[in-house]
Amino acid sequence: MNRNPHVAVVGATGAVGIEMIKTLEKRNFPVGKLTLLASARSVGKKLKYKGQDIAIQELTKDSFPGIDIALFSAGGSISKEFAPIAAKAGCVVVDNSSFFRMDNSVPLVVPEINAADVKHHKGIIANPNCTTAITLMALYPLHQAFGVKRIFASSYQAVSGTGAKAIEELERQVGQVVAGKPVTKEVYPHQIAFNVLPHVDSFLPSGYTKEEMKMENEGRKIMHHAAFRASVTCVRVPVYRAHSVAVSAEFEKPVSVEAARAVLSKAPGIDLVDSPEKAEYPLPLYVAEKYNCQVGRIRMDCALDNGLCFWVAGDQLLKGAALNAVQIAEELMK
Q: Which residues are marked as active site?
A: 130, 243
77-109 burial: b if 16+ Cβ within 10 Å, else e:
ebbeebbeebbebebbbbbbbbbbbeeeebbbb
Name residues whose C-beta falls within 8 Å of residue 28's C-beta, 6 or more positions apart in sequence: none
Supply the DSSP symbol for 197. B
Q: Is 14 helix (H, G, I), strand (E, B) or coil?
A: coil
Name residues whose C-beta falls within 8 Å of residue 239's C-beta, 6 or more positions apart in sequence: 156, 157, 158, 159, 284, 285
Name the helix (H) or strand (E) containing 153: strand 148-157
263-279 burial: b if 16+ Cβ within 10 Å, else e:
bbeebebbbbbbeeeee
Q: β-strands 148-157, 229-236: how paired?
A: parallel
Report the distance separating Cα 124 and Cα 101, nearest Å. Answer: 10
Q: Give the gyration radius of the chain's Cα atoms.
A: 20
Helix axes 130-146, 210-223, angle to 10 degrees: 40
Report the distance separating Cα 283 and Cα 294, nearest Å. Answer: 8
